[in-house]
Chain A
Amino acid sequence: MSGDTRKPFPGTDSTAAEAGPDNAGAARLWRDLNEDHTVANGPSSPGGTAPSAAAMLDRRRFLQLAGGSLALAGLAGCSRPPPQTILPYVKTPENMVPGQPLFYASALPLEGYARGVLVETAMGRPTKVEGNPDHPASQGGTDIYAQAAVLELWDPDRSRGILHDGQPATWEALLTALGEHRQRLQSRDGEGLALVTDTVTSPSLAARIQGLLERYPQARWYHPRPAGEAEALAASEVAFGAPLVPRLHLDEAAVVLCLDGDPLGPGPDQVAHARAFSRARHPDAARFLRLYAAEATPSLTGAMAEHRLALRHGQVQVLARHVAHGLGLDAPGPEAPGLPRAWLEAVLQDLRDAGPRALVVAGARQPEAVHRLACASNAHLGGVGTTVDYAPAAAATASPHAGGLAELATALGAQTIDLLLVLDGNPVYQAPADLGLEQAVGQAGTVVHVGLYQDETAAVSTWHVPAAHSLEAWSDLRATDGTASIVQPAIAPLYGGRTPAELLAALEEADPPGAYDMVRGHWREAMAVDDFEAAWQQALRQGVVADTASAARDVALAADWRRGLADPAPASTGLDLVFRPDATVHDGSFANNAWLQELPKPFTRITWENAVLMAPATAKRLGIEDGDVVRVELDGRSLEGPAWRLPGQDPDTLTLSLGYGRRRAGRVGSAIGFDANRLRTAASPWTAGGATLAARGGG
């Protein structure tokens, strides 16, 4: 960035020196680098080949077409209006006032966890999603995914019917096929049966899976590991003696240090964290929260930080060690010339002064050691119970029942799986490419996939069953704090969708119960109250099941908390890659949602595709301009995508976002952007070192 005369990304202390003198103190604000006309290389279209709209259409031609369209539009007035009949209900649903919206409390999953919502329906059709003020993860607010859920529900590209080997089939045919499997499974203790789910927080589904695993002890359950969960549990197991996950209370904190953590970024707790953060930043608040952030690539949290440090992914652990050491814990770190001493001393001073009001947040994509150092620092500072507490993870998948997708690939390769049930998610697309899941799935005898779309996983499945959307299904979910919510449908399934629980029931029983009976039946036992009907109605009305939040555990730092603490990996030569879920289409599950595609991504304002994000200094060094197609190589694998300069990015780091390069997302989401999963490995899914970058054709 040297020589440029732009304001640096807010809070980029370390890059301030590189950014050069500010433009004589002038308050010249900019939103991306190309708005600055002092930059010689202006914006160019990706690849420099796409003709611009202006070239195809001159002004005269445009006005001709516009005038013609306008004149022809008048013709619509020359016909009789379509005949209208009024179709009243045969029996009006309860509480329905024609013409008035009706709200139902429900919950929508993100990464498997519940966010409480109120679903607005107009005469029986869901039209809008609002936050549920009574739900801890919503507090009346919603995130972009909840706002876009309505479009997902009505998406005409959703799967509309059961497929068997790509041909339309019936539910009865599937029941027959599953019945044959059932007989074989019963005789062999379930050997050869494998379940794949996403993160499961649904108490009723978890109980059903548990029952299945007890009945079929040889059956296996696989699920992708959500970022940070296993690391947080392992860290707390050593530090506190129990596998727990941290729950942040940003509104109780006076000083927060985020070690690559992004509590304000997308995730099931985003809204709750944002609420707490805004309370802590209110001018009238008792404490005005001060935020430090160290991260390789700009995040929403980094953007809100007063003091932000751009740091390579691996250096974050070095920083965590220095912080822990500086606080008085026995964790000396290696000498790190990359760490600015003044920054570190300021953080330490502030953390020490804040004491129990301080909070250290470990990034979900950082290794276990960072999580453990954060646990130790928080315990040492005395913030446990105030700014953070530790509780068991709400997800049933958090306890290690089986394996992740790597173990699934191994089992598939060994040809030990007869019947593979993919109950949720799209593992064939979402798994790191080195697992080769697309080919491996073919090794299973029969694959049954339940999904909203006929996606990459459906394409390699024997059976595909359309899933019921969360707005049209009976289910239940837990929030990250354990609070359970009943998911109630706002409309009957549009395309005969089924829930994962319904498919499991179909495997277990010849005459499977419906989703409603299963959910209600589960809670009739789980609530264990005298008047179940009243409690059930209350849970539906409120959107939360009373008294289901998990209590925080009393924890104390174990004396041998350093046991087996991994040393930071030596910095690799070449460029680091960091992989992030896309800011709008997430891991690709929202790829076919045009509202989310159209939503500009934070910092870059890119829509409808992803880009190889790099620091301006890196781009300058390699002679790359915005929009140039570049080739990223890592261990013999490569991908091509447009480059984009991102101020605040660490100069040795490239950011690749997931969720693009979908092949079978639908008419909206297919064949746009590049698939970053091609460079990911199961061993290190969130970062990789030693990548090379070259302009296309140059290498």
Chain B
Amino acid sequence: MAQIFRRSADWLLKLVVAGGVLAVVAVALAWRGYVASQPPMGQPVKQPVPFSHKHHVKEVGLDCRYCHTAVETSSYAGIPPTTTCMTCHSQLFRTAPMLAPVRRSLAEGRSLGWNRVHLLADFVYFDHSIHLHQGVGCVTCHGPVDEMQLTYRAEPLTMRWCLECHREPERHLRPREHVFDMDWKPPRDQLSLGRELVARYGIDTSRLADCSVCHR
């Protein structure tokens, strides 16, 4: 009885099996990327107006709180209302086509819809104000915002990343008066400064990594 498969079919079979495995892995990876809850790290998110933090913070010199007014008092930092944009842009760049959506928003009374850059799952309780009050700088989580031509996510915002700091806050803390300082650099003995700040701000490090701190 003649062989149905030639000898070379052996190779073909191996190739098909290997290809299948690779394809499954590739599809899984692609799917994972597709369903990712966050936009990819380091890549700017498309926005209705190409807002530049670099221009407004570094070049113009606005304080974070000029727009993110609630950051010291609320869980939510606050996205500025259209009227905040118009405090300057009713005088400056009044006809710039780039700002047409802002003018339309004011004229029509419709909100500008900004796409999320930092998205935490709903089961995570996060409060901006307490982080600022305990000496976590904006830059620590949001990266060099003053260098961002377009805004992107600079840190992973994963649970592991959160816990790194919650377990050892002294590695990342800075004095309260410098939390909005974009250029503050940790001193050489950050650890001793951090430990002093932990004591001064009364941070209870023994409870900081408890589940219920974030998952309430």
Contacts and interface: CB of A to CB of B under 8 A. Distances in A.
Contact of A81 (B37, B69, B78): B37
Contacts of A79: 35
Contacts of A623: none
B113 A97 contact: no
B111 A90 contact: yes
Contact of B81 (A85, A89, A100): A89
7 contacts: A88-B79, A88-B81, A90-B106, A90-B110, A97-B69, A97-B73, A99-B78
B19 interface: no
B116 interface: yes
Contacts of B69: 97
Interface string A91-104: 11000011110000
Contact of A87 (B35, B83, B113): B113
A99 B76 CA distance: 5
B112 interface: yes
Most buried by B among A78, A86, A88: A88
Given A87-B111, A88-B82, A90-B105, 18 more contacts: A77-B35, A78-B35, A80-B36, A85-B114, A85-B116, A86-B79, A86-B115, A88-B81, A89-B111, A90-B81, A90-B82, A91-B83, A92-B83, A97-B74, A99-B70, A99-B76, A99-B78, A100-B75
Nearest to B81: A89
A41 interface: no
B111 A98 contact: no
Nearest to B121: A81
A84 B119 contact: yes
Interface string B106-127: 1001111111100100000000
A98 B106 contact: no
Interface in B86-134: 105-106, 109-116, 119
Contacts of B83: 90-92
Nearest to B76: A99
B5 interface: no
Interface string B141-154: 00000000000000
Nearest to A123: B76
B34 interface: yes
Contacts of A81: 35, 37, 119
A85 B46 CA distance: 11
B80 interface: yes
Q: Describe A's contact surface by its main secondary structure.
A: loop
B78 A98 contact: yes
A80 B114 CA distance: 19
B43 to A, nearest CB: 16
Given A80-B34, A88-B80, A99 B75 contact: yes
Interface in A54-111: 77-81, 83-92, 97-100
B35 A100 contact: no
Contacts of A83: 115
B113 A90 contact: no
Nearest to A81: B37
B119 A88 contact: no
B115 A85 contact: yes
A99 B74 contact: yes
Given A80-B35, A87-B111, A88-B112, A97 B79 contact: no
Contacts of B75: 99-100
B70 A97 contact: yes
B44 to A, nearest CB: 16
Contacts of A84: 115-116, 119
Contacts of A98: 70, 74, 76, 78-79
A78 B73 CA distance: 36
A77 to B, nearest CB: 8
Nearest to B78: A98
Interface residues of A, number: 19
Contacts of A78: 35
Contacts of A90: 81-83, 105-106, 109-111
Interface of B: 34-37, 69-70, 73-76, 78-83, 105-106, 109-116, 119
Contacts of B74: 97-100
A100 B77 CA distance: 11
Contacts of B34: 80
Contacts of A85: 113-116
Nearest to B111: A87
A86 B119 CA distance: 11
10 shortest A-B CB distances, which residue pairs?
Answer: A99-B76, A99-B74, A85-B113, A87-B111, A88-B79, A89-B81, A98-B78, A90-B82, A86-B114, A99-B75
A90 B113 CA distance: 11
A100 B70 CA distance: 9
A97 B77 CA distance: 9
A77 B123 CA distance: 14
Nearest to A85: B113
Nearest to B113: A85
A91 B106 CA distance: 8
Contacts of B76: 98-99
Nearest to B79: A88
A339 B80 CA distance: 74
A88 B83 CA distance: 10
Contacts of A97: 69-70, 73-74, 78
A88 B116 CA distance: 12
Nearest to A88: B79
Contact of A88 (B35, B36, B109, B114): B114
A163 B58 CA distance: 59
A146 to B, nearest CB: 27
A92 B81 contact: yes
B81 A86 contact: no
Contacts of B79: 86, 88, 98
A85 B49 CA distance: 13
Contacts of A89: 81-82, 111
A79 B34 CA distance: 8
Nearest to A84: B116
A97 B75 CA distance: 10
Contacts of B35: 77-81
A81 B119 CA distance: 10
A80 B37 CA distance: 7
A527 to B, nearest CB: 33
Contacts of B105: 90
B108 to A, nearest CB: 8
A75 to B, nearest CB: 12
B165 to A, nearest CB: 22
Most buried by B among A79, A86, A87, A90: A90
A583 B124 CA distance: 40
Nearest to B67: A88
Contacts of B78: 88, 97-99
A86 B117 CA distance: 10
Contacts of B110: 90
Contact of A86 (B70, B82, B113): B113
Contacts of A88: 78-82, 111-112, 114
B69 to A, nearest CB: 8
A100 B73 contact: yes
A87 B115 CA distance: 9
Nearest to A98: B78
Nearest to B112: A88
A97 B69 CA distance: 8
Contacts of A77: 35
Contacts of B114: 85-88
Nearest to A100: B74
A77 B113 CA distance: 26
Nearest to B36: A80
A83 B110 CA distance: 19
Nearest to A83: B115
A363 to B, nearest CB: 48
Nearest to B72: A97
A183 B69 CA distance: 56
A99 B125 CA distance: 12
A90 B103 CA distance: 11
A576 B110 CA distance: 63
A79 B79 CA distance: 28
